[in-house]
Structure 1
Amino acid sequence: MLDALRTYTLLESPTGEAQALAALAEVLEADAARAGFATAREGAHLMWTLPARDTRGGELLLLSHYDTVWPVGTLAEMPWSVDGDTVRGPGVYDTKAGLVALLAAVERVVASGRPHPEVRVVVVADEEVGSPTAGDLVRAEAKRATAVLGLEPPHPGGDLKTGRRGSTRARIEVTGIESHAALDPEAGVNAIDELVDHLVAFRAVVAGRPVLLNTGTIAGGGRTNVVAGHAHADLGLRFLNPDDEEAVLGALAALAPLRDRAEVSTRLLAHRPTWRPAEATDALLHRIAQVAAGLGQTLSGRPADGAADTNTAGALGVPTVDGLAPPGGGAHARHEWVSHRGILSRADLLEALLHQTSLM
């Protein structure tokens, strides 16, 4: 398993780098086929299927991803290393170790010849930017599943995740009219001024709600002697409940020009709905904890602030638990690490879970 993780880590795979992602995808597909999966692709997303054996239990869906936040070349400053139980390198924790544990578990399950349900896996190529091209695929697969397990990193210490904030990346775009800023300013419409006024007004919409709003990027105009003709801002929004999500996104969609001749439009760059804890998720967590206890592992779970593809499954009401990748720390940070012992214990747990004829 450590050799596999080293191979995956040395194949750097930043979101959007098609050539780098394709190189890792080839290796992952070969390893998945060797473990016993039938493999296919939906665009750049990997889809693996393990047919049921001697059981009619419902389909189990696992969600993971193989893109990372780290650009190609990061290994030069953040090299692969193993120091006792600590394994370091870009993407080891988020979430290549999860793929290692899963493939090891499936290989054992197939070799055992024991019953297991149908297992489907979606390995997303653009999770780190909100899965803009994978949302429909994840949604369709989740609708047919009896339960969904997420292979994202767990809480510190290894506990699982039973809910997530809704997460949306949105863009406000403004088109104004360019003119000379001194000789004929009234002929123009300043897109930057229009955008700034909308950002201030939108912040007032969010104020008082348990919503996180971050204006992540803003750009526009070109020269100080030209009235700006174009401007845009990208917003990051996090929601605790669907009602606030609906109200805030509705207000964003309803933005209208504040100045004559200005044009304003909004669009969602990525959207993951709020996943709130539910009885079905609690029941799934309880069952996973029982299986873990049989292995001498102690597990509990609670909601998380970050978003992932399990948002989509959980928001549909499908029993969903995330955080089944190995424990470690430093996601998206230079000190990213994963526990070697944790990889082994998570592989044991996943093997045991896959042998359950039904988790619900």
Structure 2
Amino acid sequence: MNTTAATAATATTATAALPGLPRTLTTRARTLAAAVRKRCADLAGIESPSGDAARLDALAEELAAGYAATGATAVRRRCDHGDHLVLDWPGQQEDLPHLLVVGHHDTVWPVGTLADWPIEERDGRLTGPGILDMKGGLALLEGAFALLADLGQRPHRPVRMVIVSDEEIGSPDGRSLVERHLRGAAAVLGLEPGHPDGRLKTARRGSTRIRLTVTGREAHAGNDAVDGVSAIDELVDQLITVRGLTRQPGTELNTGRIDGGTRANVVAGHAEAELGLRFATTEAQRRTLDNLAHLTANRPGADVRTEVLSSRPAWPERTGNPLLRHVRSLAAALGQHLDGAPAGGAGDTNLAGARGLPTLDGLGAVGAGPHARHEHLRVDQLGPRIALLAALLAVPLPRLRDR
């Protein structure tokens, strides 16, 4: 049997227990798309940069209310830089392991961005800060649950969702919450945006944020320069060393922030840089971090310190991938063509994928430009994504791994 025929056969099997469901989901999802589009815009209108606890908590409250209207129970998990959310929906078969969905409600955009970049739709593209990453994904799942509720249906198994407030800075606090709820999960789904062409994400690189701190000695830059030790000069040299250490296959470096010194006439006594590293393999991650942990100063009197701020393991591509086959079959039953591919970014699904749990990401909105000023989602893809998510919730999962 060829691949197309096999997918079609699997699609028929996947929805056989729910006659007529694909057509009903597709039709109803088209009707709901306008409301979900508005919800995307409304959520993006609540600015929620990482670290802004008040704004993140306001958005968490709004999200909890929206999901509660679809039958969820919501619990806030306290965090100083913004509360996390844990939501639970009952399933038709409560004795089954839960389906875990992971998401986040923080964005990379500072407060005030909306003042010169308002949310608007142009040529079928809804644009605005955080609209794709990932206010759109949060709205889509709410729409999927609303669709099932409208049809008088519940998910096949219990569904749990963890929404963290610090994903965009590596989930330094949220990581432990996600890991806690990985235990016992049948599968893990991520609401990050898909690839620009709509494909899902089947693997993701590991990532680590590092703060490189240099301490020198201040002195008058004109009269007593010889008595000083420039932390900035030392940091520049260290960054050149770091670039050399990370110039290897499977490793990428981004120097995201540099700060230091006080005045032009003062030898800098302090300087620091924040580095973003990405790794194709766990071995590349281990080797690089070990090298960076042993940096030494070039200048007498200078001190160099490396601090890991957050880290996620690499989630490698795996052959077979029965969860992707299942989702492709559901998409085919809905009249959609869908596939998956590895992604360059990292996220909280790395925590599940690295453990070998059945995991897929990219089930959020379809669009392009996350973290950039052209960030947008495609309005015409809201309906298909709502239908796909609803099918994933309603249709029984196949056997995804050996018992």
Aligned residue in 2 for 1:124: 164
Letter in 1 for 2:384: S
Alignment partners' CA distance in 2, 1:297 and 1:118: 26
Give yes or no for contact 1:55–1:115 (8 Å, CA) kept in 2.
no
SS of the equivalent of 2:102 reads strand
SS at match of 2:76: strand
SS at match of 2:377: strand
Structure 1 residue 82 displacement after superposition: 3.4
CA distance in 2, matches of 1:15, 1:114: 33
Structure-2 residue corresponding to 1:149: 189
The reply to whether residue 29 of structure 1 matches residue 61 of structure 2 is no
| 1:8 is aligned to 2:48 | no
Runs of 4+ in 1 over 6 A off after TM superposition: none
- Conserved? CA contact 1:57–1:358, under 8 Å: no
State the identity %. 46
2:389 is the alignment partner of 1:354: no
User: CA–CA distance in 2 between the matches of 1:225 and 1:114?
Assistant: 68
- 2:206–2:278 CA contact under 8 A, matched in 1: yes
For 1:78, the equivalent position in structure 2 comes to: 117
Structure 2 match to 1:329: 368
Contact 1:176 1:263 in 2 (8 A): yes
Q: Which runs of 5+ in 2 are unaligned?
A: 1-35
Q: 1:295 aligned to 314, 330, 334, which one?
A: 334
Q: Please, what is the CA RMSD of the aligned residues? A: 2.1
Counterpart CA distance in 1 for 2:186 and 2:358 is 7
Normalising by structure 2, we get a TM-score of 0.83
Taking a change above 3 Å as real, the CA distance of residues 114 and 216 of structure 1, as seen in their structure-2 partners, is closer
**1:239 maps to 2:279:** yes
Choose which of 299, 303, 308 in structure 2 pairs with 1:263.
Answer: 303
Distance 1:157 1:207, change over 3 A: closer
- Indicate yes or no: 2:236 matched with 1:201: no
Find the residue that maps to 1:209 and give its secondary structure: coil
Matched, 1:314 2:353: yes
CA distance in 2: counterparts of 1:75 and 1:344, whole angstroms: 26
Q: Which residue of 1 aligns with 2:315?
A: 275
- Does residue 74 of structure 2 align to residue 39 of structure 1? yes
Deviates more, 1:303-312 or 1:260-269: 260-269
**Displacement, 1:35?**
0.6
**Mapped contact 2:326–2:397 kept (Cα < 8 A):** no
C-alpha distance in structure 2 between counterparts of 1:342 and 1:77, whole Å: 26
**Structure 1 residue corresponding to 2:324, chosen from 267, 272, 285:** 285
**Once the 2 structures are TM-superposed, how far is the Cα of residue 185 of structure 1 from its aligned partner?**
4.1
Matched, 1:134 2:169: no
Q: Distance in 2 between matches of 1:327 and 1:46?
A: 24
**Displacement of 1:224 after TM fit?**
4.1
TM-score of the pair, normalised by structure 1: 0.92
Query: Which of 99, 102, 105 pairs up with 2:138?
Result: 99
Counterpart AA for 2:120: S
Contact 2:90 2:154 in 1 (8 A): no
SS in 1 for 2:234: helix
**2:97 matches 1:58:** yes
Partner secondary structure for residue 69 of structure 2: helix
Q: Could you report, residue by residue, the CA deviation over 1:47-101 in whole angstroms, capped at 9, with x for unpaired residues?
A: 1111332253321111111222223333333222335633232222221121111
Distance 1:95 1:236 in 2: 20
Cα distance change of structure 1 residues 77 and 342 upon mapping to structure 2, 3 Å threshold: same
Partner of 1:217: 257
Match status 1:90 vs 2:129: yes
Change in Cα spacing, 1:227 to 1:76, as seen in structure 2 (3 Å) is: closer
1:148: Cα distance to partner? 0.6
Matched AA of 2:53: A
Distance 1:249 1:122, change over 3 A: same
